[in-house]
Structure 1
Amino acid sequence: MVITLSALEYEVKLLKELVSIKSITGNSEEYKRIANLISKELTALGLRLTIHDGEKEAKDGISRPNIVAYYDAGAPRTIGFLTHYDVVSTSSKWREKAFSLRIYEENGEKRASGRGSADDKGCIAALMGAIRDIITRKLELDWNIAFICTADEEIGGEYGAGYIARNKLVELDALVVLDSSSMGLVVGTSGIVHGNIVIKGKPGHAGYLFGSDNALHKAIVFLNELLGFVNSRAMSLSKLRNPPSIPIPNVWGRFSLTWIKSDNMTYNVIPGKITVGFDMRLLPEEDPEFVLSQLKSYFEMTKYRLCLHDIKLEIIRAFPGYMTDENHPFVKKAMDALYKATGKKLPVIGMLGGNDGGWFRDYGIPIISFGVWDEKSNIHGDNESVSLKKIEELKSFIINLVRK
C-alpha cells in the first residue's frame, strides 16, 4: 500500500505540531504546552476530558498534566489507549533540527524525522487520527475509548501513568499501550530496576598513599566480581519470544553497569568515594521484589568473599513489567485487527524494554502493546524517524480493534 501525504494530512500536521514542542522529560513549561495542544484537539473532537497533574504527589514544582479523555460509544466496556508526550533530550549535533519535522523519501518509503516522531508522538497522532475517523464516519463500536496521554514515561512514569493507575483515575476493561515496535504484538514488557553502587574509601595524596584507602581500586576489584551477576541474570528466561531480529530466542534477564562517577577529578588525589549506576531488566512475569532479593544476596556475598565491607547498594526505582496470556481472547482479537491493518501475520512477542503498561498490572485486565517503531527509527538517537506507513497501520489497527 502506497501512503500519500494527503491520506494522512491530519496526522502529519498534528505530528509536526507535536514535534515542534520540546517536551523533554522534566520540562514543566513544555509539558503544559503540549498538554494544552492535545487537550484542544480532543475537545474539538467532542471528547470529555480531565487533566490529572502528577505534581500533586511529586510535590517538586514540576507540573505533569496527565490527560484522560473519553469517547462514549454507548458500549458496555472501555478500552484504554496509553501514550506519552515526553521525549528524551538530543545531542548537540542534532539539536537545531530535532524539533522541526522533516518529511523525506527513502527507497520509495515516506518517513518523518524529528525527536519523538517514533517515541511516542507518532502514536499520539495515529490515535487521534483514528478517533477522528471513528467520529467522522460514525462507526459503531464494541468499546468506549479512554485516551490516556502522560508525562515522565522516559524516566519510569511514576507521576505520569503511575499516578493515574495508583489512584484509579481511569476505569478500564483492557489496555493497549501505544509505545512499542511495529514488528509484533507485544503481550509482555520487561520490568526495570535502576540503582547505585557506592564504594567508599579514604581520600589522600597520591604521592604518599599511606593512610589513604583508594575507593577506585576497591571499585575495580568489586565490580569485576559483580559482573558475574550478568550471567546469573541471563539464565532467567521468559516464556515470551523475542522479535526475530534478536539472537536470543526468548526474553532474558539483564544486568548492566551504566555509568561511574568519582568524588575527585584531580590527578594527584586518591578518591574517597566512587558511585556506579546500574540498569537491571526483569522478565515480564518476574516480581521485582524477588529479583531484588537475588541481587542483594549476590551483592552481599561478593562483599563477604572479597572482605570489602564499606560498599552500599541503593535502589532508586523498581517498576514491574506486565504479561498477558497470548491465548487470551483479547489477544486473539488484537491479532485479527492487526492482520487486517497490515496484511501480515505478525508474531506475538515480548519487549526487551519497558513501558508504562506495567503500572496497570494490578488492574487484572489484558494489556498489550503495539507502536510505530521499525528497524530504521533509531529511537532516542539522532535522526529519529517514523514511517508514514506505520502511522497508517497503527491507525487502522486501532479502528479495527474497537469497531463492531
Structure 2
Amino acid sequence: MIEINTESVSKKGYEKCASLIVEEAERDSLDVEIADGEKGAKDGLSRPNVIVTFDAGSDTTLLLESHFDIVPPGPNWTYPPFKLTVKDGKAFGRGTADNKSGIVAAIGAMRQLEKEKLDINLRLIAGVDEEIGGRYGADYVLSDYGLEGDAALVLDAGQERLYLGASGIIWGKIIVEGKQGHAGYPFKAKNAIYEAMKLLAALEPYKTAVEKKESILHAPPEAPRRFVWGRYTVTMVKAGEKENVIPGTCEVRFDRRLLPEEPVEQAEKELRGFFKRAVKKTGCRASLEITNKQQGYHTPKDLVFVQTVSENVKKTIGQSLPFAAELGGNDGSFFAKNGIPVVCYGTIREDTHHHGVDEFVYLEDIRNTRDLIVNLGKVAREKIV
C-alpha cells in the first residue's frame, strides 16, 4: 500500500489501493464490498471505500475504521516516501502511521481469528477522503450507503491514551474588499491587504474568547494544557498579482477547532457575531463564508463498550491507558452522528511524523493494534452493547 500514492485531492491511486485491499481480504476468505462515494459526489472521481467483514453470524457487530488516503509527502525525505523502508523496528513511508497500518492491523487480526468461533461480527471500513473531511469516505458509508454496527473502534490515534472524543471544526473564508491601483499611486487605491490586517486585528478578541473554552476531556500528552481547549488559527492569506499592483481583494482562510462536546451550530453563531462586530468596528468591506464544518464528539467513559476496550488494552499491552480527546478531528464523528459509540486507538504515536517528513510507524504498535482487535473479537456480545 505504501508504494501507491493515494493523495486525497487527485485520488489517482484510490482504485489501485482498494484492489490491493480486496485481494488481501479475499485471500483470507473474508467478505468484501465496495461503497463508492462517487455516487454521492457525482464528480467522476471514484472513491472506493472497502468494507471487509468477518461474519460470525451474530446480531452484534463491532466496526473497525481506518483510511488509506494520505497528504502529499513534500520534499527532503531521508527515505523514499513511496517505498517501504524497514529499519530498527520502524517502517518508513507516507501513510505508514496515518493510516494504512490500521488497515494492516485489522486484516491481520481477522486472519488470526479465522478459525475462531466468535460471538460478534467484525467489519472493517478502509475508507477514503479522511484527510479532506471524509464526506464521501466514512460519512458516505454510514449515512448514505447505510452500513450499520453497534460500536466502533477507529484506528486513527496513538497508543499513549485511549481517545473518547475529537475536536469539531469550522473552516471559513473571509473576502476583504479594497480598491485596486498602481503602487506608484497608493493614494488612489485602498490596499485590501491592509484592510484585511485591520480586520484580523479586530478579531483578536474572538481568538481570546475561543481559547478560554475548556473541555471536560483531557488533552493528549504533548499538549501544553491539561484539558482540550478551543483554537482559532488563520491558515491562508491570498492577495495580489505582482509587485507594482495594489490588490483590490484579499482572501483569508481560517481553522476553528471546537471542544469535542461543543455544538457546531452554536460555535458558528458565535463566530458570525464576532465577525459582524469586527466589520462594524473597522469599517472594512468584508464577507464571511463557512466552507466546511464538522461536529466533534464525546463518548461517555461509563459505557460498557468503553470499559471493554479499556480492559482489553490493558490485557494487550500490560498497562491501563488514561482517557483523553484528540485536538484534531477524525472519522469518529460520523459514527457518533449515527448513534454509534466510538473509541479511538491505533499506531499514530506523537513522534511518528504523520503529515511530516520521514513518517514512520513502530512495528510493535501494528502488532499491539492487531492483538487488541483479536482480543476484542473474542469478547461476548454483552461486552460490546
* TM norm structure 1: 0.91
Q: Distance in 2 between matches of 1:168 and 1:367?
A: 19
Q: CA deviation at 1:95?
A: 9.2
Corresponding residue number in structure 2 for 1:265: 241
Q: Is the 8 A contact 2:8 2:132 kept in 1?
A: yes
Corresponding residue number in structure 1 for 2:118: 141
Matched letter for residue 370 of structure 1: Y
Q: Distance in 2 between matches of 1:369 and 1:45?
A: 26
For residues 239-388 of structure 1, the aligned pairs below 5 Å read: 239-262=216-239, 264-308=240-284, 310-388=285-363
Corresponding residue number in structure 2 for 1:205: 182
Corresponding residue number in structure 1 for 2:376: 401
Corresponding residue number in structure 1 for 2:383: none
Q: Distance in 1 between matches of 2:26 and 2:38?
A: 23
Q: Is the 8 A contact 1:26 1:62 kept in 2?
A: no
Matched letter for residue 302 of structure 2: N
Percent identity of equivalent pairs: 38
Question: What secondary structure is seen at the aligned counterpart in 1 of 2:324?
Answer: strand
Deviates more, 1:347-356 or 1:226-235: 226-235
Q: Does 1:112 align with 2:120?
A: no
Deviates more, 1:165-174 or 1:32-41: 165-174
Corresponding residue number in structure 2 for 1:124: 103
Question: How big is each residue's C-alpha offset from its partner over 1:78-114, in whole Å with a ceiling of 9 and x where there is no partner?
Answer: 0100110100001122397001111111xxxx11110
Corresponding residue number in structure 2 for 1:14: none
Q: Distance in 1 between matches of 2:143 and 2:178?
A: 41
Alignment equivalent of 2:5, drawn from 22, 26, 47: 22
Q: Distance in 1 between matches of 2:36 and 2:79?
A: 30
Question: What secondary structure is seen at the aligned counterpart in 2 of 1:40?
Answer: helix
Q: Is the 8 A contact 1:68 1:170 kept in 2?
A: no
Count of matched residue positions in the alignment of Structure 1 and Structure 2: 379
Corresponding residue number in structure 2 for 1:6: none
Q: CA deviation at 1:265?
A: 3.1
> Over aligned residues, Cα RMSD in angstroms?
1.3
Matched letter for residue 90 of structure 1: P
Gaps in structure 2 of 5+ consecutive residues: 380-385
* TM norm structure 2: 0.96
Corresponding residue number in structure 2 for 1:223: 200
Corresponding residue number in structure 1 for 2:382: none
| Alpha carbons of structure 1 residues 260 and 95: separation in structure 2 relative to 1, 3 Å | farther
Q: Distance in 2 between matches of 1:366 and 1:211?
A: 60
Question: What secondary structure is seen at the aligned counterpart in 1 of 2:225?
Answer: coil
Question: What secondary structure is seen at the aligned counterpart in 2 of 1:87?
Answer: coil
Matched letter for residue 338 of structure 2: Y
Alignment equivalent of 1:102, drawn from 69, 85, 88: 85
Q: Distance in 1 between matches of 2:228 and 2:182?
A: 48
Runs of 4+ in 1 over 4 A off after TM superposition: none
Corresponding residue number in structure 2 for 1:151: 128
Q: CA deviation at 1:367?
A: 0.7
Q: Is the 8 A contact 2:220 2:327 kept in 1?
A: no
